[in-house]
Amino acid sequence: MTSLLLTTERLILRKPDARDTEAAIAFMTSERARHVGGPLDERQAWRAHAKMVGHWVLRGFGLFSVVDKATDRTVGISGAYYPIDWPEKELGWHIWDPACEGKGIAYEAALAARRWAYEDLGWTTAVSYIAPENDRSIALAKRLGATLDEDADRPGHSPCLVYRHPAPEALS
């Protein structure tokens, strides 16, 4: 578990740690975080990052830091997310670095994370909770083959959309 690493053509997915703190806070305090509960102040942003790190210990899985092999920079997070108030396990992603948009980076990371969730964690289904106005994320969910699940429970009173991913057997 400690050495868990996923690699794709352009990316390394590894557990988040102190190397990511600065970039995580920069993202969560920016306007780019408006679809994912932000922008936060610095205090809240640090706590949010610490929560992502602690999630791995409490759940045994979590969101990976997505590292661009070419630059060795953390450009976002992608992976499995299941805090206490989530109705079911989620595949989530945030792209922190705007320069990485439009290059299929989020897609590449999410594909690897989903394969890991299905093959290594044994998930039989997965959803992504997406703010209705988050067009980029909705487009990514669709590209991943996920479809709107109108009947699924949502976290709390959130107005988010629930996209359900194809089951593992539908992908093999």
Partner 1 sequence: MIDVTLITERLLLRLPTAQDWPAYRDFYASDATRFTGGPYTPKQAWSLFAADRGHWDLKGFGWFMLDDGSGAVGACGLHHPPHQAEIEIGWNTFPAAQGKGYATEAATAALDWGWTIIDAPGIVSYIDRNNVASKAVARKLGASWTGEMAAHDPDCEIWAHERPA
State the residues that interact with partner 1 by CB under 8 A. 2, 17-18, 21, 25, 42-43, 46-55, 57-59, 83-85, 156
- Beta strands 63-68 and 147-148, pairing class: unpaired
Residue 42: count other Cβ atoms within 10 Å of its Cβ: 11
Q: Whole-number minimum distance, CB 108 to partner 1, in Å? A: 26
Nearer to partner 1 (CB atom), residue 48 or residue 105: 48
C-alpha to C-alpha distance for 104 and 101, rounded to whole angstroms: 7
Nearer to partner 1 (CB atom), residue 52 or residue 95: 52
Q: Whole-number minimum distance, CB 147 to partner 1, in Å? A: 28
Q: Tokens 């780019």 belong to which residue?
A: 32
Rounded to 5°, angle at Cα 28 from 60 and 57: 15
Nearer to partner 1 (CB atom), residue 27 or residue 141: 27
